[in-house]
Amino acid sequence: MIYKLFSGLLLTVIILATTSPSLAAEIRVAVASNFSETLAIVAKNFERDTGHRVKLIVGSTGKHYAQIKHGAPFDAFFAADIKRPAQLEKEHLSVMGSRFTYAIGKLVLWSPMANYIDNEINILKQNRFRHLAIANPRLAPYGVAAQQVLESYDLWDSLKHKTVRGENIGQAFQFVSSGNAELGFIAYSQIKRPGHMITGSWWLIPETLYTPIAQQAVLLKDKAVAHQFMSYVKGDKSLAIIHSFGYGTP
Q: Which domain holds residue 65?
A: 2-104+213-244
138 & 164 share domain: yes
202 exposure class (CB count in 10 Å sphere: 0-12, 13-18, 19+): buried
The number of helix segments (H) and strand segments (E) in the chain equals 10, 10
Considering the domain boundaries, does residue 249 fall inside one? no
**Dist. CA 83–CA 69, nearest whole Å:** 14
Using alpha carbons, select from 174, 172, 101 the residue that is nearest to residue 137.
172
Mean pLDDT of the region 128-133? 96
194 & 119 share domain: yes
166 & 222 share domain: no
Considering the domain boundaries, does residue 148 fall inside one? yes
pLDDT over threshold 50, residue 12: no
Higher pLDDT residue, 9 or 148? 148
Lowest-pLDDT range of 10-24, 45-59, 90-104: 10-24
- The phi, psi pair for 237, rounded to 5°, reads -60, -45
Percent of the residues in the chain that have a pLDDT greater than 90, as a whole number: 78
Considering the domain boundaries, does residue 24 fall inside one? yes
Q: What is the pLDDT of residue 1?
A: 52
pLDDT tier at 193 (50, 70, 90 boundaries)? confident
Q: What is the CATH number of the domain that holds 95?
A: 3.40.190.10
Considering the domain boundaries, does residue 250 fall inside one? no
195 & 217 share domain: no
134 & 154 share domain: yes
86 & 6 share domain: yes
What is the domain count for the chain? Answer: 2
15 & 51 share domain: yes
pLDDT tier at 195 (50, 70, 90 boundaries)? confident
115 & 147 share domain: yes
140 & 57 share domain: no
8 & 89 share domain: yes
Considering the domain boundaries, does residue 87 fall inside one? yes
Write down the pTM of the prediction.
0.76
Over residues 205-243, the pLDDT tens digits come to: 999 999 989 999 999 999 999 999 999 999 999 999 999
